[in-house]
Structure formats: C-alpha cells, structure tokens
Structure 1
Amino acid sequence: MKLNLEEVKPLIHLALKEDVGAGDITTKVTVPTGIKAKGIVIAKERGRIAGLEIVKLIFKMLESRMTGRTSSIKGQNKIRFRTKVKDGDKVRKGQIIAEISGPVRSILMAERTALNFLQRLSGIATFTAEFVDKVKPYKVKIMDTRKTTPGWRVLEKYAVRLGGGCNHRRGLYDGVLIKDNHIQINKCSGTPGLRLKKKEKVPVIGEMMKLARKRVPPGMKIEIEVKNLREVKEAVRAEADIIMLDNMNVGQMKKAVELVELLSSAIGRRPLLEASGGVNLRNVREIAKTGVDMVSVGALTHSAKGLDLSFDITECSS
C-alpha cells in the first residue's frame, strides 16, 4: 500500500510550523544543548498501526530544518527512528511500536507532531478494521467517503486501506456521483432535454444518466443515488454502473437487492449496489446480509477516535 510522501510534505511542514514556530521555548530553557536521548513509542491500547512512514518523514524534515539553522557538524542532529512493527499491523496494549534516538531537543520538538499523525491515522485504521471484521462472512466492501479532515484526505484514505477498507472516489474529479441536489438543480435551472415527471415534477433518473453518459470521459463509472424502489428500477434500466441506496432501512435494502437481481437477469447487466447513510458498528452486519456489494461509512474518517499512544524517554547522555 504505497503512499506518495511528496503529497504530504506540505501538510507536515504546516504541522511543524504551527507547533514549533520559532522554537520549543520550554526545552530551550530547561534542557542543556548536546544531550542525547533514547525513547520508545508505546501502544496504551490494542489497535491497528498506521502512519509510521509519516513519522519517519517528520523527523527527517525537522532534522533537515535544524541542520540548516546551525553550523554544527553533519550528523549531529541525526534522529534515528526504528520501527518494531509495520503499518497495518495489529498491536496489543503495552507493545513497543518504535524506538527513537538522537538529540533530545530535536526529539522533543517533533514529539507531539509525530504522535498526532500516528494517533490519528492509527485510530482510523483501527476503527476501519472493526467494521471490516463485522462483515467478514459476507462479500461486501467497507468503503470510505469524502467526509475527511481538510488537507488530510490522502492520509486518511491510506489509513482506511491499512485497516482493510477500500477507497471510494478521491474527490469530485475522479468519479461521477449523481445525488438528489444535482437532480434538483437541473429541475430549477430548466436544463433542456430533461423530462419532468407529471406527479413529482423532478427529472427522470434515466434522463440524468443520459446527460452524464454523454459528457463523462471514456471508462469513468457513473453512480446515482436513489431513495426508493421505483428509483432503483429506473437506475437499473438506465444502466447505472453503481446504485447508491441512500438511507434505506434493512428491509428496503433487501427488496432493492432482490429487484436488481431480477431486472439484471433480464437485461444481462448488473450494477453494483452501495448502502449509505446511518451505518454504524451495530447495524453494519445486518446491512451486509442484504447482499449489497459495498457499504460506505463516513464515520471511518469523521468519527474515529485516535489510538492511545505515548512516547517515553528511557535513557539520556551528554
């Protein structure tokens, strides 16, 4: 599971800048220069680790910054970060995650930033793994959403993958998802070519699909959000690639799956079905039982609790 570290360097730079600023004043006035130290990162609860490569990069970037500020000999500001586990590994309470050694001033300067990243990403990976474990008996994928922390999306989606989940579209640019607001806007703007229903006076799903199909790049999948069985039927007939069952209860989802199977056997083409809305650890197994292909969970990134980790100095020398 590769992560493009170049993409996250600006975020790390910002994080160090907001925390370190002009320097760590507490360490500067209480810790003598030239002190070397060793320390360990410990898991204070069980979970799934994510973000070790980011922590390495944080120390490397701080090291480069410190070397650039001083005329010290090369290597004096070297921080060594040795991992005891890998990204994606399960850890138990009390387990040592990594060992850190080097100039104590530099270590303390980067400590909080490093832990913030590691705790946040490990929390997402851990939470995702809980959902994945719940649906293991079923052929269903746990998907993330765009409900991510601004600026953190590439990292948070990486953490979801480490937890065994799958990534939905990365942004607005790499997949079509027609939602109720798109339909409503087309209704309000009177877009030519959209046929209105006599009763509800909203555009037919098939017409929206035709518009999208004409304009999307070749090979790009089109997903459409539906709220009832009538719309499910329209979406299947319009040859949607993915149908999102939005805020349906389990009973409605079962009927939707049965309807799609019936219609698909007749036309020889089955769209993927995605359950979305109100998904939690209490109901995700029942949702998976309905036969949907994917379950999208916004909570993976907007509600994950950071994994409890700590850093402790174990020895020091001058």
Structure 2
Amino acid sequence: MEDFVAIDDARTIPIEEYLGTIPSEGYRRAETSGLTDFALFFLDLMARNFRVSIEVPPVFVRTTSRVGAEVNPLGFIVVTAGMINHCLDAKWPQAYEILGNKAPAVVGENLVARLGMAWVVGHEFTHMFHFHHEVERRLGNKKSVQRAFEHDADLCATAGIFRLLQHMFGQVMSDTDIRRYASFVLFWIIRSIPDNNNGAGIHPSFSERFFHISLKLAILQENSSEIPDPNARHPRTIARIDAILEAAVACEHAYQQRNGFSGGSYFTEWRKYLSVNGHTSITRDWSKVSPWVQWLSGNQVDMPTSILDQRKIVLEERRAKKLKRKKQSLARVKNRPR
C-alpha cells in the first residue's frame, strides 16, 4: 500500500481517459491498452481462484511519474503512470537467454511487462479481499502489522501469477519450468522498481521480498491432489527450490552485467537476512495477523490459528509485559536510596 498524498498537478482518472492522453501515433497506446486489459483479466482470474467475497474493483491511473500503486479508500485500485511506464520500458533479457530453450517463446507482445503489471494490481487486490483495512482497525497500524500485510499481498499475487502461467503454458511446459519462468518474470519487474532495495518503512527490501516469493513458488501445490508441504521438506519441493534458485542466480548475474556493477548482490543480503532470522521474524508477524485475515475475509490463509488461540497469545503477551513492568518497579523501589 502506498500513499500518494502530495501537492502536485496529478489527476486520478479512468483507464480509458488515460489511454486518450497517449498519442495515437506509434505503438504506445496499443501497448498500454494491452497491458491494462491483461491486468483486468488477471483480477477476474484471481477473484475466481481465491473465491473472494468482494467485487473485482475498477482500476484508475494517477498521472504522476512516480512508480507506485495503492488501494483508494473509495474501493478502487490506483496505479501510477510511472508504474505503467516502468513495466513497458524496463529492460530485461529474453527468457531463453536466462532459462535456456525451456522458456516460453512469446512473439508480438511484452509478456513480462503484462505479467508484471498483473502482479502489481494483484498485490493491491489482496489488500482489499483480505480486508487488511479491517484487520488494521482491530490490531492497529503497527509496523509489524503493516509488514505482515505486504508479505501477504506479495505472496497472494505470486500465487495468482503462477496459476495464470499454469493456465497459459500448462500443456506445453513442465511444472518446474513454469515456476522458473514465474521467478524470471517477478525478478525483473520487482528488481528494477526504483527505490525498491532499501527496505525502508513497511515495504521489505527486494532481497527479503524475493526470498519469500521464491519460497512461495516452490511450495505452491501443482494441483489439488498434491500433498501440501509448507515447510519445504519433501524432496520434490527441495528440487523446486534448487531450480528456482538457479534461475534467480542467473537473473541477478544478468542484472549486474546490464547495470555495470559486480560484487555484492541480493544473495549477500539473503545471508545477512537469514543470519539474524529475518525470515522467521516476518512469518511470526504474519502468524499473528493471519487468523484475523481468515476470520474477516472468509478465505483460507497460510498458517491459520483460531481466533481464540490468537486472543490467548495476545493476553499472554500483555501479562508478560505487565509482569516485567512490575518487576522493574519493585527493583527501582528496592534500589532507592534510603
């Protein structure tokens, strides 16, 4: 979730009106129309896959060069013109250059751009159909709660992209190759977003986001007959992780070569992240938020805990804090000069 409140001349307008502001000469208007049509199609598909209880929201465009997206309180999704241009203009290699001849050969359209924009609006849609605003009203807007929301939105949008790619290529690509291609697509869109790597505020750094996106791509069930493996212990899941990681390493090397730097990468950040148990910190935050998401949205979510258990956890934390304050107070009294 972003906040676009600023003093500028930008307007929030329907997609059709925005398309009308793009010169008809050349291909830009057609490219943008294809991008937004694909995003709207993805929202419909995501609503069916997640069996959401709300209507698919309209999408509007904010006429600013800033790269971002948000949910408007009036119930629609806003993407900036900067985000649209980012998806259309960001440079990345052809999939076969990174993934080999098992990557899909797509002619005549920028599929990475379209899937990237779909992921962005899917992320914002998750904030809506998982009722994050209602959960926030109950739990407060603490940083840990906000980061849990972003974690949830990232992973639901990722699952949506994987299911879409299954729909598109399931008859011609293996399950592992679809996961590798999903990793390729999401790497290039998210990695190249400006100011996306510092982890400031409620949004995780790229290294943190892509760690969990990669893990999500590995543990997603191929179909309903597959036994869930959320802890990634089955040899099948471990093999998927290896394949996805190989693709991610190749993407990062290509990214560094294209941007003229070497040494250090988000893999270095991964090592730091794992060394301080960052990967378990965000999941602990999500485990506290997820029961409320499940209760309010009616959707099954990862790591569900009953509301009664959740309330028990909250009460235990409050008792522990109260006991700590009491001990500190007694210690001050005991040490007071007489």
TM-score strictly above 0.5: no
Task: Pick the structure with more helix per residue.
Answer: 2
TM-score of the superposition, structure 2-length normalised? Answer: 0.23
TM-score for both structures, normalised by structure 1? 0.24
Tell me which of the two structures has the higher relative contact order, counting C-alpha pairs closer than 8 angstroms and 6 or more residues apart. Answer: 1
Structure showing the higher strand proportion among its residues? 1
